[in-house]
Amino acid sequence: MLDWIRGRRGGGQESRRKLMLALARAEDALVETHVRNALELHDAMEDELSLEDALATYLDAMALARTEAEIVARRVLTRAQIHAPPRRARQFS
């Protein structure tokens, strides 16, 4: 894609900046979609799969590139932690 911009007349730094921004937004939206879908899979299979197993199943099924899968996994685990009920402190006697 960058080669296409470079080949265009008048496609300088501003065009490249706009393209990179559009690609970053698209990539972020795609990752967010994967995060939502993985969490929805866990919600649907909650009685049968732990979050980690649901996430692994989702990532295997989607066959994401390793880097993208790691980003999705971190975001899923972070989001699940944020929305999890707080753990009760253990009482010691």
DSSP 45-68: HTTT--HHHHHHHHHHHHT--HHH
**Spatial distance between the Cα atoms of 83 and 64, rounded to a whole number of angstroms:** 25
**Spatial distance between the Cα atoms of 70 and 18, rounded to a whole number of angstroms:** 27
Residue 75: predicted pLDDT: 96
Write out pLDDT tens, residues 25-61.
999 999 999 999 999 999 999 999 999 999 999 999 9
For residue 67, is pLDDT > 80? yes
Is 33 contained in some domain? yes
**8 Å CB contact between 33 and 22:** no
Is 90 contained in some domain? no
Is 44 contained in some domain? yes
**What percentage of the chain has pLDDT greater than the value 70?**
77
Q: Which domain holds residue 35?
A: 28-82
Is 2 contained in some domain? no
